[in-house]
Amino acid sequence: MSARLRSIVDQLELRPDDDVLEIGCGHGIAATMVCERLTAGRYVAIDRSATMIAAAERRNAAAVASGQAEFAVMELEGLDLGERRFDVVFAARVGLFHRAPDRARALIEPWLKPGGVLHVFYDTPS
């Protein structure tokens, strides 16, 4: 597993009952690490790539089957998750957060529970 993603997930300081939203989940590597830390909480991920969502679902098939994890092909600008709200929202290397951070934050705010936290990580790929 990726040491970079492990470091990111460690920084989230997740509680077992947190509801977590990841923006841009890629292959679902961070999803696996997040789900390992949740007991009563749920994980939801979006990515604009159907290929990445399919890979993430395969990697995390047990979490999907148990209802702990859900993956959806969706763009941040069109995010619609109904009444769900999240304790933690995070994004790693998602261009919109780098190019237009105020816009990206405004898109996330409605999805945070009171006291919820947005974590954004943007490092240059090696």
- Residue 80's domain is classified under what CATH number? 3.40.50.150
Return the closest-CA partner of residue 23 out of 61, 62, 66, 77. 77
Residue 121 has pLDDT above 70, yes or no: yes
What is the number of domains present in the chain? 1
82 pLDDT higher than 60: yes
**89 or 104: which leads in pLDDT:** 89
State the average pLDDT over residues 57-79. 95
**Within-domain flag for 78:** yes
* 123: in domain: no
The per-residue pLDDT for 125 is: 62
Selection from 58, 6, 73, 67 nearest residue 37 by Cα: 6
What pLDDT score does 46 carry?
96
Sheet with 86-92, side-by-side order of all strands: 69-73, 43-47, 20-23, 86-92, 112-121
Domain presence at residue 60: yes
In a domain, 63, yes or no: yes
Strand partners, 89: 21, 118
What is the arithmetic mean of pLDDT over 70-97?
A: 91
Tell me if 99 is assigned to some domain: no
Amino acid symbol at 62: A
Domain assignment of residue 42, given as a range = 3-92
Residue 1 confidence (pLDDT) above 60: no
pTM: 0.93
Question: How far apart are alpha carbons 44 and 30 in whole angstroms?
Answer: 12
Averaged pLDDT for residues 47-54: 96
pLDDT of residue 104: 85
pLDDT band at 124 (very low <50, low <70, confident <90, very high): low
Q: Is 45 a member of any domain?
A: yes
Helices vs strands, H then E, count in the chain: 6, 5
**In this structure, is residue 11 part of a structural domain?**
yes
pLDDT over 60 (residue 87): yes
Mean residue pLDDT across the chain: 92
- Mean predicted confidence (pLDDT) in 78-95: 91
Assigned domain for 125 exists: no
